[in-house]
Every structure is written in C-alpha cells, then in structure tokens.
Amino acid sequence: MLKGTLKFEVDENKTAKLKEVDFRDEKEQIKRADQEAAKLKHDYLIHSNPGAVSEDGKRVDLYSEKQKNNNKIKGKVPGYVEIQVETLLNPKNHTITNVIRIGKVMGEKPLYINASHDLLASRYYNGKFIKVLNHTKKFSVLEIKPGSSSSKSFRVGASSYYKRDYAATVVWKDSPPIADASKSSPFLANKKPALYPHAKDSHTKQVMGAPADANMKVVPKDKREDRDPNLRKNSKSGILKNTENQNGTGINTKFIMLFL
C-alpha cells in the first residue's frame, strides 16, 4: 500500500485575491477550480534519475529517491482540509486501485474539492510514463466530510514501473481556488501484481537492486543452476575449521555457530 497526503488551508484574508466580478459567485469559483485542476493533470510524465542506475544500465536502486513535501501548512487558520491518496495492489483480481479520501476537515468547511489520483506506467525505470488510469473525484459541499472517498481500478497485464500523479484544488466560500500536486517516485510491480521486494543486507546496508527493464528475461527452470544441498553444511565446517586453525582451541566455535 502506497500513501500520500495533500494539505490545504485558507487564511484570514481569503477575499484579497478575488476579482470583484467573482466575489460571492459560487458557480464562478467552482468553474475556476476545475480550470486550475485541469492544469495539474498529465497524459504522460518523463522520469529521469541516472544516478540510481548501475553502470551497466541493468540495475536500479528503487529506494534512492526521497519524497519531498514543500507544503508548509500550520493548520491554525479558519479552514483546513487534508486529501489522502493511497494505492492498493490486489493479487486476487490482478488490479491496482487508486483511492482518494478526505482525511481531515477542521474549522470552516470548503465549498468544493476537485481531486485526482492517476496512475502512469512504463516498461523502464527512466523514460516516458503513459497514463493508464484516470481518476478524478469532485466533492460537493455535502460530500466534504472525513472519510468520504472514491476509488478506481486498473487491471494489470504485465510487469511494469508505475508512477502516481495526484493533485487537488480546494475552494472555500468567497476565496480563490487553492491547488497543490505531487508525483511519486517509480515503483515496480509484476503482473500479479506484487511490489518488487525491499531487501536490505544487514551487514553491508545495501539494498538489492531492481531490474531497470520491467520486462526482464526469466531464466527457464531447466537452465538454472542447482543449489548445492551441502552448501550450508560445508560452509559451517569450513568456518569452524578455520577458527580452530587460528586459535588452536576452537574457543569461538559456539559464538560462530549462533550465526550459522
């Protein structure tokens, strides 16, 4: 499950930016909000992070990018609202579902909210991501309350990289539209769909790299190298023998055995 939050507030001087012709015209405010929301939608996105890709171009560090939040909201003004988004992967019906939910409403209630949470896909980590799921929800004043939500699903057909593109435009009475948007870093999911695992070596602190090409080649079972059934046993005896040779007594044998 992947999550994100957009936060909005209206200040005390909310009418200062309104044109006289728009003042107290709710239909015009909603129209302007929809216009601003349309500007935040994308049919495609270009992702470029060469530093996360290995020198041979085959592996990528999926977890090198940090999500930035530049929205400095105090939450202590006349009106405050949070729009939460989450992405759910369901292997049972092979879908990815994008959810839009109103999290918090404090103080003065907004008049209207136009929120979107789209999904874009690409075969490669770096490159052009095309929209595969278009999800927009327009909350009327009666629907604006904590817990109100909307969801839409995309049926997965192949392994892909995905980006989440989410935005919202909020209107308070007698206030101009307030807009905010965010884009997630890419995540990799197979055709089930299941997320590519986050595996970290506890000794080296390195994270297992993901394939830069989501459509990576799978080695057939008959061509895979068999695992030596005596590998663990041989490794144990080799370490123990080496320990005894070093100290002549095998004094550290029990200590080493704890880690085998």
Could you read off the pLDDT of 6-29 as tens digits, one per residue?
888 877 665 444 444 454 678 888
Measure the CA–CA gap between 90 and 93, rounded to whole angstroms: 6
Range with the poorest average pLDDT among 39-43, 164-168, 171-175: 171-175
Q: What separation in angstroms does the CA of 157 have from each of 37, 89, 93, 190?
A: 30, 13, 11, 9
Measuring CA to CA, which residue among 115, 167, 156 is closest to residue 133? Answer: 156
Sheet holding 2-10, edge to edge: 2-10, 79-90, 95-107, 149-155
**Residue 85 class from Cβ within 10 Å (0-12 exposed, 13-18 middle, 19+ buried)?**
buried
- Using 50, 70 and 90 to split pLDDT, how confident is the model at 204? confident
Average pLDDT, whole number, for the chain?
83
Name the residue with higher pLDDT: 201 or 113: 113
pLDDT for res 188: 96
Name the residue with higher pLDDT: 220 or 125: 125
- Using 50, 70 and 90 to split pLDDT, how confident is the model at 153? very high
Paired tokens of 136: 């927009």
This prediction has a pTM of: 0.78
What is the SS3 assignment for the chain? CEEEEEEEEECCCCCCCCCHHHCCCHHHHHHHHHHHHHHCCCCEEEECCHHHECCCCCEECCCCCCCCCCCCCCCCCCEEEEEEEEEEEECCCCEEEEEEEEEEEEECCCCEEEEEEEEEEECECCEEEEEEECCEEEECCCCCCCCCEEEEEEECCCCEEEEEEEEEEEECCCCCCEEEEEECCCEEECCCCCECCCCECCCCCCECCEECECCCCCCCHHHCCCCCCCHHHHHHHHHHHHHHHHHCCCCCHHHHHCCC
**Residue 129 class from Cβ within 10 Å (0-12 exposed, 13-18 middle, 19+ buried)?**
buried
Residue 257 has pLDDT above 50, yes or no: no
Residue 244 has pLDDT above 80, yes or no: no
- Using 50, 70 and 90 to split pLDDT, how confident is the model at 49? very high
Paired tokens of 13: 């001087």
Could you read off the pLDDT of 61-107 as tens digits, one per residue?
887 666 555 555 555 568 899 999 999 999 999 999 999 999 999 99
Paired tokens of 117: 């949470």
